[in-house]
Amino acid sequence: MNYIDNIAFAIILFLGVGFFVKNFQKLIRNIKLGKDINRKDNSSARWKNMAKIALGQSKMVKRPIAGILHIIVYLGFIIINIEVIEIIIDGLFGTHRVLSFLGSFYSFLIGSFEILAFLVLVSVSIFWIRRMVLKIPRFWNKEMKGFPKNDALYILYFEMVLMSLFLIMNATDVPFQQNDIGNPISQFLVPLFEGFNASTLFIVERTAWWLHITGILIFLNYLYYSKHLHILLAFPNTYFANLNPKGQFTNLESVTNEVKMMLDPTIDPFAAQPEGAADEIPEKFGASDVQDLNWVQLLNAYTCTECGRCTAACPANITGKELSPRAIMMKTRDRLEEVGENINKNGKFVDDGKQLLNDYIKPEELWACTSCNACVEECPVNIDPLAIILDMRRYLVMEQSAAPQELNLMMTNVENNGAPWQYNQMDRLNWKDEK
């Protein structure tokens, strides 16, 4: 017996999965660079959200064409991957179609895989047309140049090639075709290979089989570098998403303590520090870099698949402002990866003289936001770009006093006379007697 094939398969499988696991651990480490936030409460509502939004794709169908095509690709992806179980067993043990003992159920399975594979091919082709021929604007915003644009295309090509290989593999499997059951699509490909002799057909079938499984492993490993991570992260992302009303912005505890002290007449501001109390490092207010964000915000950044529905709904972006909620997520991820690389190289983060603010996200983008929550509402996987924008504004205002001048005026008014305009608080009820 010749075991070379089996050994080669085992090695490829081991490397493919191993390399992915290693990268995925880095990804989890990077996400954990974020600050802690409690998102473990109310697990029943969280499971429900995940089931509805990630598994059930409820927010995808808000745009029906893209939504339905996406569901086809998603179902195809999940269901056809059942076939991978058989491929792995076959590969490791040198069997051929080991699950065929299931008889007619097997034929039913493979038959459905074939139909799905065909539908995925069609859907992915339409996706390509939407991007490259119809040029739907949200795929052509300025943040979608270079890798982000190619990333999207590579994914589509990958899927086209993988589905084609699956169908070719079936079409050139002579005994499988002779059975003539479970081949509703591949039977139409058989004429393409007419005139091939048995050994050539065998070689084509084997080649397609090997390319198919190595392709899957390469695709798996591509995920880490790609926007396509959403196929995995959409699930935790929807689970850990914010459950509060969208209008409720987070309360900064650190500020609460200080404000309470300011307002409490019984506290002696000059009191000596209680003995034994450690010198606390004053916390930074708001966020200027990725480590200042919380881990859910960082998970958001990795989950974003750059579909641009947020940006297409953003009033600032629609009216030509610099802000794009998608770009906020992409820049956060880019910076996070840079910080991760830094840690890989140095063992810990060594100051590189850069940060998320200014080097990636400019104040002009942050100040264009109306906090209208359209981006949050639109996101099919409950990403919250607004939370990042607000945390960065907090840094600008509370650490740097760098608000736009008119906002400083507004805040001075609120502070001095309890209204954003320069009116006297004592005049607050004047309207009652005005005609």
Partner 1 sequence: MNVPTMAEMTAQGKQPEILFWVGCAGSFDDRAKKITKAFVKILNKAGVEFAVLGTEESCTGDPAKRAGNEFLFQMQAMTNIEVLNGYEIKKIVTACPHCFNTLKNEYPQLGGNYEVLHHTELIETLLNDGRLSIEGGKYKGQKITFHDPCYLGRANDIYEAPRSLIEKLEAELVEMKRCKSDGLCCGAGGAQMFKEPEKGTKDINVERTEEAIKTKSKIIATGCPFCNTMMTDGVKATNKEDDIKVLDIAELIANTEDL
Under the criterion CB under 8 A, does residue 315 sit at the interface with partner 1? yes
428 binds partner 1 (CB under 8 A): yes
Cβ at position 422, least distance to partner 1 in Å: 9
Rounded to whole angstroms, the Cα distance separating 392 from 69 reads 36
By CB under 8 A, is residue 120 in contact with partner 1? no
CA atoms within 13 A on the CB side of 401: 2
Give yes or no for residue 410 binding partner 1 (CB under 8 A).
yes
Q: Which stretch binds partner 1 (CB under 8 A): 170-178, 191-199, 231-239, 243-251?
A: 243-251
CB 285 within 8 A of CB 398: yes
Q: Can residue 38 be called a binding residue for partner 1 (CB under 8 A)?
A: no
From 32-40, 121-129, 339-347, 411-419, give the range in contact with partner 1 by CB under 8 A.
Answer: 411-419
Structure tokens at 149: 């644009």
- Cα dihedral 186/191/192/198 (nearest 10): 90
Task: Verify binding: residue 244, partner 1, rule CB under 8 A.
Answer: yes
Residue 298 near residue 338, CB atoms below 8 Å:
no
Q: Which of 361, 298, 385, 393 is nearest to 36 (CA)?
A: 298
When binding is defined by CB under 8 A, the residue of 61, 79, 122, 403 that contacts partner 1 is 403
How many C-beta neighbours within 10 Å does residue 329 have? 28
Q: Is 395 in the site for partner 1 (CB under 8 A)?
A: yes
User: Is 5 a binder of partner 1 (CB under 8 A)?
Assistant: no
Both structure tokens of 83: 């076939």
Q: Is 93 in the site for partner 1 (CB under 8 A)?
A: no
- CA 132 – CA 305 distance, rounded (Å): 18
CB of 292 to partner 1, least distance (A): 13
User: Site for partner 1 (CB under 8 A): which residue of 6, 58, 72, 322?
Assistant: 322
Residue type, 126: I
Q: Smallest gap, in angstroms, from Cβ of residue 427 to partner 1? A: 8
Q: Looking at residues 250 to 289 of the shown chain, list those that interact with partner 1 (rule: CB under 8 A).
A: 251-252, 255-256, 258-260, 262-263, 285-286
Report the nearest approach of partner 1 to the CB of residue 389 (Å): 9
d(CA 62, CA 60): 5
Beta-carbon contacts of 293 under 8 Å, excluding residues fewer than 6 positions away, are: 34, 35, 287, 332, 388, 391
Binding site for partner 1 (CB under 8 A): 244-249, 251-252, 255-256, 258-260, 262-263, 285-286, 313, 315-316, 318-323, 364, 367-374, 376-377, 390, 392-398, 403-404, 406-407, 409-411, 414-415, 418-421, 423, 425-434
